[in-house]
Amino acid sequence: MDDVNLEKPADLEAEEGTVVTAAEEKAPGETILEVENLQMYFPVKSSGIIRRTVGHVQAVDGVSFQLGAGESLGLVGESGCGKSTTGRLITRLYKPTGGSINFDGKDIAKYTPREIKPIRREIQMIFQDPYTSLNPRHTVGSIVGAPLAIHKLVPRNKILGRVQELLEIVGLNPEHYNRYPHEFSGGQRQRIGIARALTLHPKVLVADEPVSALDVSIQAQVVNLLKDLQKEFGIAFLFIAHDLAIVRHFCPEVAVMYLGKIVEVADRETLYNRPHHPYTQALLSAVPDVKQAAIGGRRDRMRLEGDVPSPINPPSGCRFRTRCPLAQEICAKQEPPLLQIGKRHKVACHFAGELGRHPMQPVTAGVLGVDSQGNPDPSVTPIDAPADQPGFADTWFDLPNQAMSKG
């Protein structure tokens, strides 16, 4: 991408000072993004001259969720579970191999590069590493101003003013627009990345571990900046992190991912105080003691052992079963559906329950029409409990009663 000459006269299409946006304004909370059964399988090629596809990395496999305008959803999980891939699919840096991405009433999953161009303005991404995500040969002015020039949204002679405004918004000196990324600290570089993401007034921002590469002392400053920006501009956030403590401060709703799937999603209070999935319980148990206070302090612990299995050949049934201390026969035979079990709580586990109170019998048998070992049981009429859908319904599967309920 060429450097933008900030001093050149205008020859652009837009009227002076206008920033055009394509998506309709949504009322706060109204669904702006709905992802259903999203899938990304990367091909694995053999070595040699003729490179055949010998398998697939199932990086994202059947992810569904909803995001309301101006809201924020946290996405957490261990390294390699598919968080960044999910973010890159939503921003359409990757084309999904399956599923839909409904943005502002349009399914953008299969859009061609030409069709996706106007949507790129609306869905932006902040990257994890501020050292590699900024081109070292470009000035800050050209990095932040480039999207305005590419999308021809502001006359060229107005770009510098807009860039300086954005630098000020993110807490940088507007006079530093002619400096290069190496002249800034890590925290300042991340602010440049944030300014670049804001340039086009996005409706949705995917923040992919935006502070994990930063010094702990400045993480809070950048998180607070993002919070202020969200409030001021009403941007919907998908906040990706492996640190449950950071997500708790930012997101009223959190989804937990394991090996390409969402295993639990809930409002903040429920997820941190009454998680029902053994993996969420293990993640919370692994938070260092100093951070336990920040997430409510927990007494019981679920230990997580072993490594995440390969996403090329994931375990049958429940993908977590090779590391789950509660795994039983049914876990290898049947994949647990992501069932809504409360007003704003979904979980995918045959033995879903609070830590220390997991049931002895699978809670999903009646829904799947199987016996307690996971074998098809013709005498059971499956309960019609909607599963694996984006968003929350008004009725849900009540675990104690094993029936649908309105709460």
SS3 state of residue 158: helix
* Residue 347 near residue 276, CB atoms below 8 Å: yes
**Of Mg ion, ligand ATP, ligand SF4, none, which one sits near residue 42, judging by CB under 5 to 8 A according to partner kind?**
ligand ATP
84 is a contact residue toward ligand ATP (CB under 6 A): yes
Phi-psi region of 138 (alpha: psi -120 to 50; beta: other; left: phi over 0): beta
Q: How far is the CB of 368 from ligand SF4 (least distance, A)?
A: 12
Closest CA to 3 of 143, 130, 154: 143
**Measured from the CB atom, is 154 or 363 closer to ligand SF4?**
363
**Partner whose binding site includes residue 81, from ligand ATP, Mg ion, ligand SF4, none (CB under 5 to 8 Å by kind):** ligand ATP
Please choose which of ligand SF4, ligand ATP, Mg ion, none residue 79 contacts, taking the beta carbon within 5 to 8 angstroms, the exact cut-off set by kind: ligand ATP
Measured CA to CA, the distance from residue 112 to residue 289 in angstroms comes to: 48
Distance from chain centroid for Cα 30: 18
> Binding ligand ATP by CB under 6 A: which of 59, 125, 169, 223?
59
Tell me how far, at minimum, the Cβ of 242 lies from Mg ion, in Å: 8
* Pairing verdict, β 31-45 and 98-103: antiparallel
What CA–CA distances, in Å, run from 199 to 5, 20, 140? 17, 12, 13
Quick note: the x/- pattern for ligand SF4 over 285-324, rule CB under 6 A, is ---------------------------------x-xx--x
Tell me whether residue 79 or residue 381 sits nearer to ligand ATP (CB atom).
79
Structure tokens at 334: 């049947």
Q: What is the token pair recorded at 213?
A: 């590469």
Which stretch, 108-116, 172-180, 300-308, 349-357, contacts ligand SF4 (CB under 6 A)? 349-357
Question: Which of the choices ligand SF4, ligand ATP, Mg ion, none does residue 349 contact, using the CB cut-off of 5 to 8 A by kind?
Answer: ligand SF4
Q: How many CB atoms lie within 10 A of CB 219?
A: 18
Please name the residues in contact with 111: beta carbons below 8 A apart, sequence gap of 6 or more: 92, 119
Q: How far is the CB of 25 from ligand SF4 (least distance, A)?
A: 41
Q: Which of 349, 355, 365, 367 binds ligand SF4 (CB under 6 A)?
A: 349
Residue 57 touches which of ligand SF4, Mg ion, ligand ATP, none (Cβ within 5-8 Å per kind): ligand ATP
* C-beta of 84 vs 91, nearer to ligand ATP: 84
Q: Which residue stretch of 77-85, 144-152, 293-301, 349-357 sits at the interface with ligand ATP (rule: CB under 6 A)? A: 77-85
Helix (H) or strand (E) holding 305: none
CB 223 within 8 A of CB 249: yes
Quick one: which of 336, 342, 374, 390 contacts ligand SF4 (CB under 6 A)?
336
Query: Which residue stretches of 278-338 are H helix?
Result: 278-285, 289-292, 329-333
Give the one entry of Mg ion, ligand SF4, ligand ATP, none that residue 326 binds, where binding means its C-beta sits below a cut-off of 5 to 8 angstroms depending on kind. Answer: ligand SF4
Segment interacting with ligand ATP (CB under 6 A) among 11-19, 80-88, 171-179, 189-197 = 80-88
Q: How many helices (H) and strands (E) does the chain have?
A: 12, 14
Instruction: Report residue 396 as tokens.
Output: 């849900």
Q: In the range 242-271, which residues lie near ligand ATP by CB under 6 A?
A: 242
For residue 250, how many C-alpha atoms fall within 13 Å in the half-sphere facing its CB?
35
Q: Could you give the CA distance from residue 351 to residue 302 in angstroms, rounded to a whole number?
A: 14
Give the largest CA-CA distance in the chain. 77
Residue 350 in the binding site for ligand SF4 (CB under 6 A): yes
Radius of gyration of the chain (CA): 23
230 binds Mg ion (CB under 5 A): no
Q: How far is the CB of 338 from ligand SF4 (least distance, A)?
A: 11
The contact set with ligand SF4 (CB under 6 A) reads 278, 318, 320-321, 324, 326-327, 331, 336, 349-351
Binding site for Mg ion (CB under 5 A): 84
